[in-house]
Amino acid sequence: MSTTLVRADSRADLVSALAAHGGRVGFVPTMGALHDGHLALIHRARAEVGTSGAVVVSIFVNPTQFAPGEDLDRYPRTLEADLAACAEAGADIVFTPAVAEMYPAGLDGGVTVDPGALGSVLEGSSRPTHFRGVLTVVAKLFGLVRPDVAVFGQKDYQQLALIRRMAAELCLGVEVVGVETVREPDGLALSSRNRFLDADQRREAVVLSRALFAAREDAARGAAAALGAARAQLRTSHVVDLDYLEITGTDLGPAPQSGEARMLVAARVGSTRLIDNIALTLGTQGEN
C-alpha cells in the first residue's frame, strides 16, 4: 500500500499536515533506519485508526537518550530510504524535525521527564540517563502530534512499560499499543543496530534469541530452570558479553512464583549492544 506522503520538517508544517486529515491519529515514533519491525508498527497504527485516520511517523535521532561515548554519531541515518518505506507502508505524514526544533531551549536546558525507579534498573542501570531522554522526547512528540494511539515495539520492553506509565500518570490521553517483536528467520530480533555486526558477530548474536527460546521451553519447571536453560545457551558463545539476564513480572516488577512473566537480556556483540525479551509462563514443577 503506497500513499502520497507529506513530509513535515517543522512544528508549523506538522500542524498544517495534520489539519488536512480528519479522523483519529495513529503515531509511530522512530529514530529512522527503518526495518520490517518498524513497518509492522505502521501497519498496526493504520489498523488502529482506519482508512479515515492519519498515520504519522516521526524520524528523529534523539541526542538526549545517548550518553557520552555511546553510538549517537554512528547511529544509522537513511532518511531517503525511510521516507520511501513509510510511503509504501501506508503512512500519511512523516515528521523529520531538526534538533533545534525539538529542543529550542538547548539540550542542557528546559524541562525533562523523570522516569522514576523503573528507569534505574535493567537498561537504566547500564544507561542511567537513557530513559530520561526517551521519555522527554516522547512527551514532546505526543504534545506535537496529539495522537489518539501511539504504537511501539515490544523489543524495547522496558521503554514500552515506561511510556505506558508516563501516558497514564501524566494523563496524556494517548493509548499506547505494544506490537510483538519482529524477528529474522533464525530468531534474531530486528534492530537498526544489527547492521553494525560483521558476519561472524551476526552468527553469534542469534544466541540471545536462542537463550530466550530455551527459557520459554523450560519455564514450566519454574524460574530457576528457565534461567538455567538461558544461561546454558549463552555459555555456547565466547563472543557475546552479557550485561544482564533477568526474569521479571510483566510490569517489570519482581518475578512471580508462577504465571505470566518476562525474561529480558542485554549483551554486547563486539562493540554493538543488543537487547531482547520474551514472554514466559512460569510453572512450579521445579519447586519442592
The domains of the chain, with CATH numbers, are 6-179 (3.40.50.620), 192-281 (3.30.1300.10)
Question: For residue 235, what pLDDT is reported?
Answer: 97
Active site residues: 38
Q: What is the pLDDT of residues 188-210, one digit of tens each?
A: 999 999 999 999 999 999 999 99
Spatial separation of the C-alpha atoms in residues 122 and 146, rounded to whole Å: 30
Do the beta carbons of residue 27 and residue 144 sit within 8 Å? no
User: Which residue in the block uniquely carries the three cell numbers 555511546?
Assistant: 70
Spatial separation of the C-alpha atoms in residues 174 and 142, rounded to whole Å: 8
| Helix runs in the chain, H state only | 11-19, 36-49, 79-89, 99-102, 123-126, 130-145, 157-169, 199-205, 207-218, 223-234
Question: For residue 109, what pLDDT is reported?
Answer: 77
45: Cβ–Cβ under 8 A, 6 or more apart, which residues?
26, 27, 28, 55, 91, 149, 151
Residues of the chain with pLDDT under 70: 1-3, 285-288
Question: For residue 2, what pLDDT is reported?
Answer: 55
Q: What is the pTM of this model?
A: 0.95
Spatial separation of the C-alpha atoms in residues 177 and 258, rounded to whole Å: 25
